[in-house]
Amino acid sequence: MINRLFAQSPLRLSLISGLCIGLSYPPLKLGFLSWIGLVPLLVALEYSEPRQSAKLAFLSGITANLIVMYWMAFNIGAHFLAAFASMVASIVYLSLFWGLVGYVFSLFHVNWGKGYFIFPFLWVSMEYFQSFGSLGFPWISLATTQSYYLPLVQMVEFTGIYGISILLVTVNVLIYRYIRIPSVNKLKVLRWGVILVVVPWLFGYGRMAMINQTRESGDIFRVSIVQPNVGPHEKWAVENRDWIFHHLDSLYVEAAKTGPQLIVWPESATPTYLRKNWRRMKQVSQRVEEYGIPLLTGIVDWEYEKGKRKIYNSVLLIDPESNKESNLYHKIQLVPFGEYIPFSNQFEVLDQLNLGQGNFDSGQNYTLFDVDSVSFSSVICFESAFPKLVRKFVKKGAEFLVVVVNDGWFGQSSEPYQHEILSRFRAIENRIPVVRCANTGISVIYDAVGRVQSYLPLNKEGVISAGITPGNTLTYYTKFGDQIAHLSVLITVILGIWFWYREK
């Protein structure tokens, strides 16, 4: 049966790989497919010359990325044609990395015969470079496919997400070698396969038990999340503004009854420039002063800098007792083509394009908030996909993280589920609680192990609360970052130089 499967044409094998990898991402709980999903692609590439391999891997990438990111075409905040074009451009751009991996793999495999040795390092290098620059998008790392396997993902405390990626690709390579290489020592390959599958799970269970014991005696900080469940267009309709503020106010009062030390509203919760609107700001501040419970809320903000008006997607802490100068955070990692046009700072003509996107400016400061002597930070929406960004906040002193989100632009597609689960990784990487407050859902509170403490599903209005234990010990990943990725890039470069020298 296996031989019959791999007797398919390289084109079909590439499509099978793309299908398996694409289906392994949330919300489908088919993450096990990524442990075997790259094997058909490896078979397709084994006898293909480099250019053909690049095309096959590109096709596989197109298939996988289309399944994962189809939701980009259904962004209700943009015209359908613009949203569809953005989806196509993103899928093609990210799939080019797959094509490059296929090309380099084939160069090694055709000339050396053992290209599979470099394949895991090539893959992780690809994922790592996908996270950089204006078009950075670490959302689709293979690690995301394992997000529902809580014991397994405990390893990211040491390895980051790239440790899971290299594990998955290595297991795929071992399966490929076991099936396709007659001369291989099958017992040895099988032994390594079992070790790579079993040991991370055992480690995860043990680590979870250890953290349970150390966290039981920690101080508890109570936080409440407000999920107003108001659609993006509905929120900004002029005739709804009074109702929106009344709605948020009533939910604040409901949250206050749970006795929290902090209440959180989602991204751009208020339909106004709140800091600049004296009447609305007074209305909100008076309620905060009445209950004495600080409010962290997403806002749209603007400031004049060097004679130019700059608009920011921001988070504001309203707390009469805190330092006003440290109460504001401006979003650093903006959404390309959603919140700005990439490279518009270098080419002013791009700043004039109107594709339905916002025209926000990027913040520069990694803000720490403080409530009851507990320091925390907040990131906004897309930023939660970037491990290295969150890591900087934690290194600066954040003891827990608040993620404010508005996924209402994508309705009931896969996007809210994929986005929400990324917060689990940020919690485990840094061993801090993560509080995720979404406008229309999904809102969730994760502990430092990545377990759900409280949860409010999509398209539900309400308040959730939990007592969290702030983290104050830096993990290996927080201290040293993506060493697995750095090592993979280094090995890829060294092998590339060796190969070039050998051929020369």
Model confidence pLDDT, tens digit, residues 398-432? 999 999 999 888 988 999 999 999 999 999 999 99
Whether residues 254 and 398 fall in one domain: yes
Torsion from C-alpha of 265, 267, 269, 271, nearest 10 degrees: 170
Whether residues 117 and 223 fall in one domain: no
Whether residues 208 and 233 fall in one domain: no
Q: Kindly tell me if the per-residue pLDDT of 357 is higher than 50.
A: no
Q: Kindly tell me if the per-residue pLDDT of 156 is higher than 50.
A: yes
Residues contacting residue 286 through CB under 8 Å, at least 6 positions apart: none
Residue 348: predicted pLDDT: 54
Give the other-Cβ count within 10 Å of 476's Cβ: 13
> What is each CA distance from 439 to 87, 405, 410, 422, 452, in whole angstroms?
23, 6, 12, 17, 19
Residues paired with residue 330 on neighbouring β-strands, in sequence order:
314
Residues paired with residue 438 on neighbouring β-strands, in sequence order:
405
Q: What total of structural domains would you count in the chain?
A: 2
Structure confidence at residue 349 as a pLDDT band (50, 70, 90): very low
- Tokens representing 480? 């040293």
On whether the CB atoms of residues 285 and 318 are closer than 8 A, the answer is: yes
Based on its alpha-carbon atoms, the radius of gyration of the chain, rounded to whole angstroms, reads: 24
Structure confidence at residue 198 as a pLDDT band (50, 70, 90): very high
Residue numbers of the domain that contains 247? 218-300+316-330+366-473
Lowest mean pLDDT segment, chosen from 78-82, 145-149, 188-192, 485-489: 78-82
Whether residues 469 and 498 fall in one domain: no
Whether residues 112 and 146 fall in one domain: yes
For residue 302, the 8-state DSSP code is E
Q: Mean pLDDT, to the nearest integer, of 239-246?
A: 90
Percent of the chain with pLDDT over 70: 91
Give the other-Cβ count within 10 Å of 395's Cβ: 14
Among 416, 419, 384, 417, smallest CA distance to 402 is for 384
Average pLDDT of the chain is 88
Q: Mean pLDDT, to the nearest integer, of 350-371?
A: 73
Residue 113 or residue 170, greater confidence: 170
Whether residues 294 and 426 fall in one domain: yes
| 344 within domain boundaries | no
Q: Mean pLDDT, to the nearest integer, of 177-192?
A: 84
Whether residues 164 and 242 fall in one domain: no
Q: Kindly tell me if the per-residue pLDDT of 214 is higher than 60.
A: no
Residue identified by tokens 């050396």 is: 112
Model confidence pLDDT, tens digit, residues 434-469? 999 999 989 999 999 999 999 999 999 999 999 999
CA atoms within 13 A on the CB side of 25: 26
Lowest mean pLDDT segment, chosen from 89-103, 193-207, 212-226, 478-492: 212-226
Residue 338: predicted pLDDT: 67
Percent of the chain with pLDDT over 90: 62
Alpha-carbon gap, residue 102 to 38, rounded angstroms:
12
Task: Report the CATH number that the domain containing residue 415 is assigned in CATH.
Answer: 3.60.110.10
| 378 within domain boundaries | yes
- CA of residue 98 relative to chain centroid, distance: 20
Residue 422: predicted pLDDT: 96
Residues contacting residue 216 through CB under 8 Å, at least 6 positions apart: none
